[in-house]
Amino acid sequence: MALQAKHVQQAFSILLEKGFLPNGPSKKWDIIDPITKKRFPPKAVLRVAKELAKDISFTGGGGWPTNDPLQALGFDIVLKEGRESTDASSDIAAVIASGVDATTKERLVNARLGQGGYRESLLDMWGSRCALTDCNIVQVLRASHIKPWRDSTNEERLDPYNGVLLAASIDALFDKNIITISADGSILVSSSIESGALIKLGLARERSLLLNGRADKYIASHRATFEEACDGDFYVF
Protein backbone atom coordinates (compact mmCIF):
# COMPACT_ATOMS: atom_id res chain seq x y z
CA MET A 1 0.00 0.00 0.00
CA ALA A 2 1.28 3.46 -0.85
CA LEU A 3 2.06 5.80 2.00
CA GLN A 4 -0.89 8.11 2.69
CA ALA A 5 -1.60 11.06 4.95
CA LYS A 6 -3.74 8.84 7.20
CA HIS A 7 -0.70 6.70 7.99
CA VAL A 8 1.26 9.76 9.04
CA GLN A 9 -1.63 10.93 11.22
CA GLN A 10 -1.80 7.50 12.84
CA ALA A 11 1.95 7.62 13.40
CA PHE A 12 1.55 10.86 15.38
CA SER A 13 -0.98 9.16 17.66
CA ILE A 14 1.20 6.11 18.17
CA LEU A 15 4.31 8.11 19.01
CA LEU A 16 2.33 10.38 21.33
CA GLU A 17 0.78 7.39 23.11
CA LYS A 18 4.00 5.43 23.48
CA GLY A 19 6.22 8.41 24.18
CA PHE A 20 8.97 6.55 22.35
CA LEU A 21 11.00 7.76 19.39
CA PRO A 22 12.50 4.83 17.46
CA ASN A 23 15.20 7.00 15.91
CA GLY A 24 15.69 9.35 18.84
CA PRO A 25 15.01 13.11 18.80
CA SER A 26 15.79 15.09 15.65
CA LYS A 27 18.60 17.65 15.63
CA LYS A 28 17.35 20.11 13.04
CA TRP A 29 13.80 19.46 11.77
CA ASP A 30 10.33 18.83 13.18
CA ILE A 31 7.08 17.79 11.53
CA ILE A 32 3.92 19.34 12.98
CA ASP A 33 0.80 17.34 13.72
CA PRO A 34 -1.95 19.56 12.25
CA ILE A 35 -4.47 18.33 14.85
CA THR A 36 -2.52 18.60 18.12
CA LYS A 37 0.05 21.14 16.83
CA LYS A 38 2.74 19.06 18.53
CA ARG A 39 6.17 18.61 16.99
CA PHE A 40 7.67 15.23 16.13
CA PRO A 41 10.97 14.04 14.59
CA PRO A 42 10.28 13.48 10.86
CA LYS A 43 12.41 10.35 10.66
CA ALA A 44 10.50 8.64 13.47
CA VAL A 45 7.14 9.62 12.00
CA LEU A 46 8.05 8.37 8.53
CA ARG A 47 9.35 5.09 9.90
CA VAL A 48 6.14 4.35 11.83
CA ALA A 49 3.92 5.58 8.98
CA LYS A 50 5.67 3.29 6.49
CA GLU A 51 5.23 0.32 8.83
CA LEU A 52 1.50 1.08 8.97
CA ALA A 53 1.37 1.34 5.17
CA LYS A 54 3.46 -1.85 4.80
CA ASP A 55 5.80 0.21 2.65
CA ILE A 56 9.22 -1.46 2.60
CA SER A 57 11.00 1.17 0.48
CA PHE A 58 14.17 2.73 1.90
CA THR A 59 13.34 5.50 4.37
CA GLY A 60 16.64 7.33 4.01
CA GLY A 61 19.07 8.69 6.52
CA GLY A 62 17.20 11.81 7.56
CA GLY A 63 17.12 15.29 6.06
CA TRP A 64 15.23 15.88 2.84
CA PRO A 65 15.02 12.25 1.70
CA THR A 66 12.89 11.88 4.83
CA ASN A 67 11.21 15.28 4.81
CA ASP A 68 10.12 15.42 1.16
CA PRO A 69 7.69 12.45 1.26
CA LEU A 70 6.03 13.90 4.36
CA GLN A 71 5.81 17.39 2.89
CA ALA A 72 4.36 15.93 -0.32
CA LEU A 73 1.47 14.60 1.76
CA GLY A 74 0.71 18.11 3.01
CA PHE A 75 2.52 18.15 6.36
CA ASP A 76 4.57 21.12 7.53
CA ILE A 77 8.31 20.61 8.07
CA VAL A 78 9.90 23.33 10.20
CA LEU A 79 13.18 24.07 11.91
CA LYS A 80 13.41 22.97 15.52
CA GLU A 81 12.58 25.64 18.07
CA GLY A 82 15.70 27.54 19.04
CA ARG A 83 17.07 27.32 15.51
CA GLU A 84 14.56 29.79 14.15
CA SER A 85 15.04 33.49 13.53
CA THR A 86 12.61 35.71 11.68
CA ASP A 87 14.78 36.23 8.59
CA ALA A 88 16.20 32.70 8.49
CA SER A 89 12.80 31.10 8.93
CA SER A 90 11.27 32.92 5.97
CA ASP A 91 14.32 32.21 3.80
CA ILE A 92 14.27 28.53 4.70
CA ALA A 93 10.53 28.31 4.15
CA ALA A 94 11.15 29.58 0.62
CA VAL A 95 13.80 26.88 0.08
CA ILE A 96 11.42 24.21 1.39
CA ALA A 97 8.70 25.35 -1.00
CA SER A 98 11.05 25.52 -3.98
CA GLY A 99 11.33 22.84 -6.63
CA VAL A 100 15.06 22.14 -6.20
CA ASP A 101 16.15 18.56 -5.60
CA ALA A 102 16.58 17.17 -2.07
CA THR A 103 20.39 17.36 -2.09
CA THR A 104 20.44 21.01 -3.18
CA LYS A 105 17.68 21.81 -0.71
CA GLU A 106 19.75 20.40 2.17
CA ARG A 107 22.84 22.31 1.04
CA LEU A 108 20.88 25.57 0.77
CA VAL A 109 19.40 25.20 4.24
CA ASN A 110 22.83 24.44 5.71
CA ALA A 111 24.30 27.43 3.89
CA ARG A 112 21.54 29.71 5.23
CA LEU A 113 22.18 28.47 8.75
CA GLY A 114 25.96 28.65 8.34
CA GLN A 115 26.29 24.91 8.91
CA GLY A 116 27.18 21.71 7.13
CA GLY A 117 29.49 21.66 4.15
CA TYR A 118 29.26 25.43 3.70
CA ARG A 119 30.61 26.11 7.18
CA GLU A 120 33.29 23.44 6.81
CA SER A 121 34.46 25.07 3.57
CA LEU A 122 34.81 28.46 5.26
CA LEU A 123 36.56 27.01 8.29
CA ASP A 124 39.07 25.45 5.92
CA MET A 125 39.49 28.58 3.77
CA TRP A 126 40.03 30.87 6.75
CA GLY A 127 42.05 28.51 8.93
CA SER A 128 39.29 28.35 11.55
CA ARG A 129 39.94 32.00 12.47
CA CYS A 130 37.89 35.18 12.19
CA ALA A 131 39.03 36.95 9.02
CA LEU A 132 39.21 40.32 10.80
CA THR A 133 40.20 39.58 14.40
CA ASP A 134 42.01 36.21 14.25
CA CYS A 135 39.66 34.88 16.93
CA ASN A 136 40.02 31.08 16.84
CA ILE A 137 37.19 30.12 19.19
CA VAL A 138 35.34 27.98 16.66
CA GLN A 139 32.12 28.00 18.66
CA VAL A 140 31.65 31.77 18.11
CA LEU A 141 32.68 31.86 14.45
CA ARG A 142 29.92 32.38 11.92
CA ALA A 143 29.93 31.35 8.28
CA SER A 144 28.55 34.57 6.80
CA HIS A 145 27.47 35.42 3.30
CA ILE A 146 29.13 38.50 1.80
CA LYS A 147 26.39 39.24 -0.69
CA PRO A 148 23.15 38.94 1.29
CA TRP A 149 21.17 35.73 0.94
CA ARG A 150 18.07 37.59 -0.23
CA ASP A 151 19.99 39.13 -3.14
CA SER A 152 21.85 35.98 -4.20
CA THR A 153 21.03 33.21 -6.64
CA ASN A 154 21.11 29.62 -5.39
CA GLU A 155 24.51 29.20 -7.03
CA GLU A 156 25.84 32.28 -5.20
CA ARG A 157 24.33 31.08 -1.93
CA LEU A 158 26.37 27.88 -2.17
CA ASP A 159 29.58 29.54 -3.37
CA PRO A 160 32.17 29.54 -0.53
CA TYR A 161 33.78 32.61 -2.14
CA ASN A 162 30.59 34.44 -1.23
CA GLY A 163 31.42 33.67 2.38
CA VAL A 164 33.65 35.01 5.10
CA LEU A 165 34.33 33.58 8.56
CA LEU A 166 33.67 36.16 11.28
CA ALA A 167 33.37 36.24 15.06
CA ALA A 168 29.75 36.78 16.11
CA SER A 169 30.11 40.46 17.07
CA ILE A 170 32.01 41.29 13.87
CA ASP A 171 29.48 39.33 11.82
CA ALA A 172 26.70 41.50 13.29
CA LEU A 173 28.52 44.66 12.19
CA PHE A 174 29.08 43.24 8.71
CA ASP A 175 25.51 42.00 8.38
CA LYS A 176 24.05 45.36 9.44
CA ASN A 177 26.28 47.21 6.92
CA ILE A 178 28.20 49.02 9.65
CA ILE A 179 31.54 47.79 8.30
CA THR A 180 32.69 46.56 4.90
CA ILE A 181 35.89 45.96 2.96
CA SER A 182 37.35 48.36 0.38
CA ALA A 183 38.79 47.33 -2.97
CA ASP A 184 42.31 47.42 -1.46
CA GLY A 185 41.28 45.35 1.59
CA SER A 186 40.93 48.18 4.12
CA ILE A 187 38.13 48.10 6.67
CA LEU A 188 35.54 50.81 6.07
CA VAL A 189 33.38 51.90 9.00
CA SER A 190 30.15 53.87 9.21
CA SER A 191 30.74 57.21 10.93
CA SER A 192 27.93 56.29 13.32
CA ILE A 193 30.40 54.03 15.15
CA GLU A 194 33.46 55.30 17.02
CA SER A 195 36.77 53.54 16.35
CA GLY A 196 37.30 52.90 20.07
CA ALA A 197 34.22 50.66 20.17
CA LEU A 198 35.64 48.54 17.35
CA ILE A 199 38.99 48.18 19.10
CA LYS A 200 37.16 46.77 22.13
CA LEU A 201 35.66 44.13 19.84
CA GLY A 202 39.11 43.01 18.72
CA LEU A 203 39.57 44.93 15.46
CA ALA A 204 43.07 46.30 14.97
CA ARG A 205 43.81 49.62 13.26
CA GLU A 206 45.14 49.43 9.71
CA ARG A 207 44.06 45.80 9.50
CA SER A 208 43.46 44.72 5.92
CA LEU A 209 41.71 41.75 4.38
CA LEU A 210 42.88 40.30 1.08
CA LEU A 211 40.09 38.31 -0.50
CA ASN A 212 40.37 35.81 -3.33
CA GLY A 213 39.62 37.43 -6.69
CA ARG A 214 36.56 35.22 -7.00
CA ALA A 215 35.06 37.15 -4.06
CA ASP A 216 35.48 40.57 -5.72
CA LYS A 217 31.97 40.75 -7.16
CA TYR A 218 30.46 39.79 -3.80
CA ILE A 219 32.37 42.31 -1.71
CA ALA A 220 31.66 45.01 -4.32
CA SER A 221 27.95 44.32 -3.87
CA HIS A 222 28.26 44.48 -0.08
CA ARG A 223 30.28 47.69 -0.30
CA ALA A 224 27.63 49.35 -2.47
CA THR A 225 24.93 48.45 0.05
CA PHE A 226 27.14 49.71 2.90
CA GLU A 227 27.73 53.08 1.19
CA GLU A 228 24.02 53.50 0.61
CA ALA A 229 23.18 52.53 4.22
CA CYS A 230 25.58 55.09 5.71
CA ASP A 231 24.78 57.69 3.04
CA GLY A 232 28.46 57.86 2.04
CA ASP A 233 29.50 58.94 5.55
CA PHE A 234 32.28 56.50 6.55
CA TYR A 235 35.98 56.33 7.36
CA VAL A 236 38.92 53.97 6.88
CA PHE A 237 39.70 52.15 10.11
pLDDT in tens, 12-28: 999 988 876 666 677 77
Query: What predicted TM-score, i.e. pTM, was given to this entire model?
Result: 0.60
Instruction: Report d(CA 130, CA 224) in Å as an integer.
Output: 23
The torsion angle over the Cα atoms of residues 53, 57, 63 and 69, rounded to 10 degrees, is -50
pLDDT value for 64: 65
pLDDT value for 114: 67
Q: What is the pLDDT of residues 149-168, one digit of tens each?
A: 888 898 998 899 999 999 99
pLDDT value for 193: 92
pLDDT value for 22: 63
Q: Are 101 and 158 in contact (CB under 8 A)?
A: no
Domain ranges of the chain: 1-83, 122-231
> Which is more confidently placed, 22 or 201?
201
